[in-house]
Structures are given as structure tokens and as C-alpha cells.
Structure 1
Amino acid sequence: MLARNASRRIFQVRQFSGYKFPVVTQPSILQQRDSPIHKQIQRNVSSMSGVPSLSSGQEMTIDNMVSSIYDHVSKCGPENFSDEDKKNKVLQPRAISDSYRKFVIPLSTDTVKQKEYLSAMGNVRIGKILEDLDHMAVHVAYIHNSENGSLDGPMTLPRTIVTASVKRVDFHKEDINSSRDIIIDGQVTYAGTSSMQISIRLFQNDENGNLVHILKADFIMVSRDPLDGTKKIRVHGLVAKTPDEAETINQAKEHFKTMSNRDEEPTNDEFRLIHRMYNKLIARNMVNDTPVLEKSEIWMHKTMLSVTEICFPEYQNMYGKIFGGFLMRKALELAYTNAKMYCKGRVAIRSMDHIEFAKAVEIGHVLHFDSFVTYTDRKYIQVKVVASISDQNKLPELAKINNPTLGQEARVNTNVFNFTMESVDNPSILTVVPKHYVHATTYLEGRRLLNNTLKRIIN
């Protein structure tokens, strides 16, 4: 545990999913480069998504990490770079380990931080963790593209790094203790022309001092010109030093080729699934062809739960837009509330998939979140949240962009979030059923996502 009150503990190792993650708890020993502990850390390299085991180094808090991003961006000086630099400057490829960073959320010693992260259940708010993940992804991306591998130095090219999407967040443990420090580490695991994948992990010591893996996340970041957000700025490439790193890069490359299956057409098997479902619903009606539900079923549109926010300046990021971590937190908390009401009891989040940041949200926008249950399987449910904006000063403009017939009710979608939840208290939950074609496609999308989650982290 990276905290003052744990500095007396010695190095411990817990076997997790075939990989050893060392607990770094005694900096004075770890600073000795020839010590047995330091050598063991260097040997214990995990192949999990190309992220190495927790390594030694300076213990910095999450607040230090966030402030370093703002300082780095403030020194960018885009006017000092010519168009020739942006097009032709040589950007040397970096190693995966070059961008590795580790920080601490000091819940054991910082009472103010404890209150910020405390949930109604007495554990850590997952929504706050999502904000930290987003900050971490930005930090690591800037490290990868800094001149000297540190945010104290300049950028190799002027750039604004923003979150394009979140490939996945898998939760191995949701009940995070609010009085123990949390370790967050991550690094770049893929780099394209102007996009990067950042892999992040979260750890916390259990009551016995063993390091427990809490979650793993993959963020997709993009690099843009600070003077013109529509223009791409090249990023440093990535080279592999080990076979495991090469495999990680190749896997990410394949993902970028098929970034999303959100608009994937239904397969023949899926069409037959919907057909059989409606035949069954209609067969229950002895009078006409109107579908009939049983008591254990519910129409998808009946599961909708919504919330509306005003976007205040306190939610803005360093670029003057609404912080992506805030959007993820609000979406998660709405999805969690919806799932809890749906399951009539406590639920646990198991995964987040296909999180899309399609359009920036501005200060002053009216922000709408609409959530609904898209698929159910035994005690597991899939929840989708769609974020949209309306601007009271630009309603006609938004209406024209979206659909002229909507008039003053026009909204523009900005984000999509998908969550897999597990019903903890009530295994007998209602089965969601799509009523219209648009709901049927959403149902199939939710089915794919939930089945993938079950295969990946449940089964």
C-alpha cells in the first residue's frame, strides 16, 4: 500500500490470473538499484495488455498528475511550430515502457479525498474513479509525446490530446475500500498516425496487505492541432521490445481496424431470433396479432430513466470543454440507478464497453442523459446511456443539424455509453423485450455486448 501508514510493511506478492504484481511499500529499499526487491520487480513483467508490473519510482498523488497536465499544456506554445514542422518533423518511435507511470489516490491519509470518493454504501464511488482514468489516459498520452519523456519538458509537436472513445473497462472488483490507498498505473499500448491506445489498471491492498487487481481499462486518445481542432497532429510510433509487447500492439491494431460493431447489421441467426421472439409474443393473443407480455417480461421503452444537467464551468477541462470523465461519471451513476431500480436491489457493475465521444459538450449546454435496459440474461443486464445536448441560444441551428422537423425540440447526440451490470440481491429479474424495430437493433447490440462480457470476465 503506497501510504505513510503502510511504509513499515515489506514487499509482498500476490498471484493474480497467472501474473505476479508486486506491492511497492518501502521506497528506501526500492531506491537501491541492486537490491533483491528491485531486481524482482524488473523480472516480474506482466504481459497483460502490455502493461508491466508495478515498478519502483517516485510516489505521486493523483492531484499531482492532474496539475502536471495543465502545466504541460499551458507551455505548449503552438505559435512556435511551423506548418513544415507539423508535416515533416521526424518523430522517433518510443518503447511501450517509456510512457509507464504510476500514481496514488491517498485515501488512507487524505480525509478530504476520502469524502470526495465516498459512496452512499460506504465504499468508493466508481464514477470518481472514471474521472481519474480519463485524466490518467491524457497524462500518459502527453508523456508519450513529450520531448524528454517528462511533462516538465516541451511537446515534440503542438498538440491537444482528447478522448475519442473508451474501448472497454472491466471490473474485477467493484467494492473498493474507501480508507485504503488506490494505485493507478498505465501506459501507451498502441500508437497509430494520430491516435493512441492507453491501457490503465487499478489496484488496492486487501485487509491482509495483498495487492488486488480492481479493474483494467483501454482508452482511445487522439491528437489534434491546438489552433484548429479539425486537423490531426502526428504522434510518436511504438516499438516492441518483447514478444508480449509485440502481441499487445498487434491486438490493438486489429481493434482499430474494426473499431466498433455498433452499426453492424444483424446476422441471419439474429434475424431468426427476433422472428421467433415475436411469433411467441403474438401466439399468446387469441384475438388478434397484438403481442402479449408475460408477468416476467417488460417492454424496453418502459425501462427508460433520464436526467438533465446544466453544463457549468466547474465541469470544464483544460480546453474549455466539458470534461469527458464527468460525462462518464454521470452516465455511470444514471445507469447504476436504473439498474438498481430494475433489479429491485443492489447491483454491481462488471464492464463498460463502446463508450463514444462523438461531439464536444460546451459550457452552457443543456445536457440530457437517457438510459434504458437493452438486454437481460439471468441475473445480468445491459444498460445503454445516450447523452445529447440542446442549446437555448442555438436551437434552430441544432434542429437543422439533427432533423428540421423536430423544431425547438431538437437535440444532438454527443456520447454513447454501454454498461454490463449484475443483480446481486435479486436473481429473478424481468426479461426485457423490444417493441419496435429500432429497439430490436438496440436489443441485439446489447446482446452482443453482454455475451462478450460473460465470455471475457464472467465465465
Structure 2
Amino acid sequence: MASISRTALRRLSAATLFRSSESASIYSITHRSFHSSSSYRTDGVFRELTAMRVRTPWIEALRNKQTEEKDSTKARGKPSMPKDRKLEPKRMSDSYHSLVLPLAQDPWLLDSYLNASGHIRLGAILMDLDALSGIIAYKHTGEDVTTVTAACDRIILRNALTEICDLELSGQVTYATGRSSMEITIQVAKAPKEGEKVKDNDVLINCTFTMVSLDPATKKPVNVNPLIVETPEEKRLYELGERNSKLRKERSQTSLIKHTPNDMESDLIHAFWQRELQYHDPHNDMRKPENVHFMDTTTLKSALIMQPQNRNRHHFQIFGGFLLKQTFELAFTCAAAFAQARPSFVSLDPSTFQNPVPVGSILYLTSTIVYTDPPLIGAAGETVDKDNRYTRVQVRVDTKVRDVEHGASKPTGQFNYTFTVEKNIRVMPRTYQEFMYYLDARRRAEQTTESMKEEGIGMSPETAEESVTE
């Protein structure tokens, strides 16, 4: 076997060392250390709104549930709320909570709130509002109860947001009589400078949520702490909540499910029927205008599997804010498809959550254009501006849930969104069910218009188009 001389070995070692040094130098030039921004591990909600939640991995929560189902003694052993628990009255300020959404300061956070055209997604803001209402509710009730969203009583866009800025979200319980439900009033506004207060024209959104507290074991409603009302502003808010409660009861008592349409509404149905006959009468020159669309042609549907990433703090039901986001975006798409124009959000009318949506179920959503203002046909004595280039479009989104095996379905909620479009366009019902949808939407539109006039709020369509929200 040939041997290598010491001189040759030294030369070989030196060459190897040089090549290693050269490779290291090239590597340091062509490669950089990895860097990543901090992640936001939430379910789509701003991280500070999820900080109070109990963090349990889905797999752990699922296995615990499966163990309880196998062991009937554990399932029956859940403690229920004591009937004689003490409920001391609380002040509104006790539940007050506010935070700043730093959209202008944090470009990566802003990235998760923007759509393709660079506008702030209102659907994402709606998720945050529902999460905030949960925090406020638990500050009022404590952690011993289970609190769920029962209704969005009203969400109104008050002023246009003309630039990307930090947003302040704030709210408190403003109506609670001591029964199971409570009303929470929330405001979204431009974040004021330190030491300053929010100005009226900086308020973007006012809204109210109705929350209901349940016994964690029996899932039955339980009483919550009543409110102490002290200042004139608190009295105003409490009286507003009282009025909203009365309006909900009145709407329930006079709903079209329980009562036939009134005389004026019956006349409208007859007028629409006559108009449709005229469109199809070969001896009549009147034909359906191009800007008139039958209601059944406006329907848009969607179906989603409910994944655990969108669960609420109790693990096995879907977070209410996620449902708001999905219904809003479907309604927006439906309005855009109907008008072939970009819609501007006006309001979410009183909408209800009827049944919970379990994780793992299939959610079906159906959106329909149910009313346009100005209408195609006005009531007797009503003035209709047929040439208005802007139209208010009301979209109804009905949701229902089925399990994966597609057994019996349950309605989970009805949501009523109003948008403005720069288009002269009309919707026309022609079946009895569509007439009921139309009349219900017409009533809602009138109530919203009256309420906005009373409070002196609302924007012109031109102003709404300037907003960076969508």
C-alpha cells in the first residue's frame, strides 16, 4: 500500500482547509438567517379579544368529551347552578371594556383585515364585535355561567371611514333587569389621541347585542345581575334598551307568521300580481323592464363544514362572530351579483340566532334579495322616485344546520343586511312566500329609517362610497 509523505499530507490538509473556508464564506454570503414576524394564533379574532379564553387544544377537549360520554357517572356529575345564588346589582361601568385595534401601526395585523381592493373587511370587524360582547357579558355575570349570543339587535354604519387608522372598540352592559338576558351596547370609532375623547363624527359603528346566560349543566336560562342606573347618560341607554325589548316583543306579536298582512300590504300584493299579468299579456304593450328581476332569480347559496378552529370558548359550538362574518360576506356577494355593482353597507337589521351550530356539522346558507328601495310599486299615497340612481337593497340570509349524516335540519338564524348600490334596479316577488319575505323586509326598512331619523344618524350614498370599509 502506497504511503503519503508528510509534505504531501500537509499540502492536502491546507487545500482542504482553504476549500472549507471558501465554502463557509460563500455560504455566509448567499444564505441569511430566517426571520419571521410574531404569529397571531387566534380563530380569526383580534388576539386581545381571545386572551381571556381557556386554552385547551381541540384534541384534548374532544378526548375529554368522549371519556365523559363513555362514563355516564361523569356526564351526570356536572354541577348545576344553585337556585338561591346571590345576584348583587352591578353598575354599567363594572362591565365596561375597551381596546384598540392597531390597524395603522401593525401592517401584518392590517393584512388580515383587508380585502382585495384594500378596504377593511366589515365581516372581520363583526367577528371582533361578537367576541367583545362575550367579554363584556362575562364581566357582568362572572365565569360560572355559559353566555351565548341570542340576537344582533342593530348594527348601523354611522360615519364613513376615509382612511386606514387605529380603531377603538368599547362597550358595556346597558340593559339588564335581572332575568336571563342582557343588552350590550358597543361602539367602534377612530382611536382618539391620548387624553382625548371620541368625537361624534369619528364613530364608525354603533351596535347592540342581546346575550343570554345559561346553566352550564342543564343549558337552561339562568338569571343575571340587574343593573344600577345612576347618571343621565346611563338612564338614556337603559331606556333605549327597554324600548328595544318592547320592539322585539311587538315584532313577534305582529309577525306575518302569526297574522295576515294588513289592508295596505294586501293591496300591494294585489298590485304586484296585476303587474305580473300585464308583463305576460300578449295584448298589452307593457313588458318587464330590464332593471326588474324576479325574487327567485336573485338567490345565492353556500355550504360550509364547521371546523373546530372556529369554535367558541366552550369548544363544541361554533363562535357566533364566525356566523356573522359568513352571512355578511354571502349577503355582500348576493347584492353585488344582483346589481352588478359594488355594494356599500348600511345596516344589519335585528337578526336572531335560533339554534347553536355544533362543530363538525354542515351549515347551509341561503341569501335572497327581498326588498329594494325605492320599490317597484309603492303603497297608495306613497311617492316613489323611479329615476333615483341609487337603490337600497335588503338581503335576507337564512341559515340551517345538519349533521354530516344529513339527518333532520334545524334553523340556526335569520340575518337581514341592507346595502346601497349605484344602480336603478328593482326586485319583484311573485309567490306567496316571496310576498311574505317582501312585506317583512318592507316593515324592517321602515323601522330602520324611522329609528335613524330619530337618532339623527345615517349617511348619503355618495358619502358611503368614500368609506374604506367593505
Taking structure 2 as the reference length, the TM-score comes to 0.71
Q: 1:412 aligns with which of 396, 410, 427?
A: 410
Read off the aligned partner of 1:64 and give its amino acid letter. E
Q: Closer, same or farther in 2 for the Cα pair 1:285/1:71, shift >3 Å?
A: closer
CA distance 1:390–1:124, change in 2 (3 Å): same
The 3 A distance-change label for structure 1 pair 258 and 369 is same
Offset, 1:175: 4.4
1:288-344 deviations in Å (ceiling 9; x for gaps): 99x963322111110001111111111111112111101100110111111112222
2:304 is aligned with 1:309 = yes
Out of 98, 123, 126, the residue aligned to residue 102 of structure 1 is 98
* Conservation of the 8 A alpha-carbon contact between 1:159 and 1:226: yes
Q: CA deviation at 1:281?
A: 2.6
Task: Tell me the equivalent position of 1:65.
Answer: 49
Give the Å deviation of 1:134. Answer: 0.3
| Paired residues for 1:84-233 under 5 Å | 86-146=82-142, 155=143, 158-173=144-159, 175=161, 177-178=163-164, 180-192=165-177, 193-204=179-190, 212-229=202-219, 231-233=220-222
Whether the 8 Å contact between 1:159 and 1:225 is mirrored in structure 2 is: yes
Q: Is the 8 A contact 1:364 1:391 kept in 2?
A: yes
Q: Once the 2 structures are TM-superposed, how far is the Cα of residue 170 of structure 1 from its aligned partner? A: 0.4
Name the SS for the 1:87 alignment partner.
Answer: coil
Q: Which amino acid aligns with 1:164?
A: A
Contact in 2 for aligned 1:86/1:234 (Cα 8 Å): no
The SS at the match of 1:124 is: coil
Structure number with higher relative contact order (C-alpha < 8 Å, ≥ 6 residues apart)? 2
Q: What is the aligned partner in structure 2 of residue 391 from structure 1?
A: 403
Specify which structure has the higher proportion of strand. 1
Cα drift, residue 267 of structure 1:
2.0
Deviation at 1:390, TM superposition (A): 2.1
Change over 3 Å in CA distance of 1:174–1:337 after alignment to 2? farther
Mapped partners of 1:305, 1:116: distance in 2: 26
Q: What one-letter code is carried by the residue in structure 2 that aligns with 1:388?
A: K
- Residue identity matched to 2:418: T
Structure 2 contact 299–368 (Cα < 8 Å) conserved: yes
Q: Is the 8 A contact 1:281 1:292 kept in 2?
A: no
Q: Are the structure 2 counterparts of residues 344 and 305 from structure 1 closer, same or farther at C-alpha, using a change threshold of 3 Å?
A: same
Q: Which residue number in structure 1 is paired with residue 3 of structure 2?
A: none
* Superposed CA offset, 1:69-103 (max 9, x none): 4379x9xxxx99976x6211221111222211111
Which residue, 229, 234, 238 being the options, matches 2:223? 234
Choose 252-261 or 345-354, whichever is displaced more. 252-261
Q: Distance in 1 between matches of 2:352 and 2:278?
A: 39
SS at match of 2:348: strand
Say if 1:142 and 1:305 are closer, same or farther in 2 by CA, change over 3 A: same
Aligned residues: CA RMSD? 2.9
8 Å CA contact retained: 2:149, 2:320 = yes
SS at match of 1:445: helix
Matches within 5 A, 1:357-376: 357-376=353-372
Q: CA, structure 1 residues 294+124, in 2 after alignment: closer, same or farther (shift >3 Å)?
A: same
Per-residue CA shift, 1:121-177, capped at 9, x if unaligned?
Answer: 21211011000000110100111123xxxxxxxx4xx20011011101001235464
Alignment map for 1:7-26 (pairs within 5 Å): none
Pairing of 1:243-322 with structure 2 (within 5 A): 243-259=232-248, 261=251, 263-264=255-256, 265=259, 266-286=261-281, 293-319=288-314, 320-322=316-318
Contact 2:362 2:403 in 1 (8 A): yes
SS in 1 for 2:329: helix
Letter in 1 for 2:398: V
Could you tell me how far apart the structure 1 residues matched to 2:184 and 2:77 are?
Answer: 28
Mean alpha-carbon deviation: is it higher for 329-338 or for 242-251?
242-251
Q: CA 1:387–1:177 in 2, change beyond 3 Å: closer, same or farther?
A: farther
Provide Cα deviations, 1:227-247, integer angstroms capped at 9, x if missing partner: 121x12211001210233223
Q: Partner of 1:325 in structure 2?
A: 321
- Rounded to whole Å, the distance in 2 between the matches of 1:372 and 1:176 is 30
What is the CA–CA distance in structure 2 between the aligned matches of 1:272 and 1:322, rounded to whole Å?
A: 43
Q: 1:159 to 1:80 in 2, by over 3 A?
A: farther
Kept in 2, the 8 Å contact 1:124–1:176? The answer is no
Aligned-partner SS, 1:68: coil
Distance in 2, Cα, partners of 1:337 & 1:175: 21
1:440-451 alignment runs, 5 A limit? 440-451=435-446
- Per-residue Cα deviation, 1:365-398 (whole angstroms, up to 9, x for no partner): 11111101000014111001111122232x34x1
Query: SS of the residue aligned with 2:233?
Result: helix
Contact kept, 8 Å, 2:295 with 2:370, in 1: the verdict is yes
Decide whether the 8 Å contact of 2:158 with 2:458 is kept in 1.
no
Q: Is the 8 A contact 1:86 1:233 kept in 2?
A: no
The letter of the residue matching 2:242 is K
Matches of 1:145 and 1:176, distance apart in 2: 38
Matches of 2:53 and 2:346 in 1, distance apart?
A: 30
Deviation at 1:220, TM superposition (A): 0.3
Q: 1:71 to 1:199 in 2, by over 3 A?
A: farther
> May I ask how many residue pairs the two structures share in their alignment?
363
Query: Is the 2:371–2:427 contact (alpha carbons within 8 Å) kept by the matching residues of 1?
Result: yes
Q: Name the SS for the 2:149 alignment partner.
A: strand
| Residues 130 and 89 (structure 1), Cα distance of their counterparts in 2 relative to 1, 3 Å cut | same
Provide TM-score, normalisation by structure 1.
0.73
Consecutive unaligned residues of structure 2, counting only runs of 5 or more, are 1-44, 62-75, 375-390, 460-470
Aligned counterpart, 2:393: 381
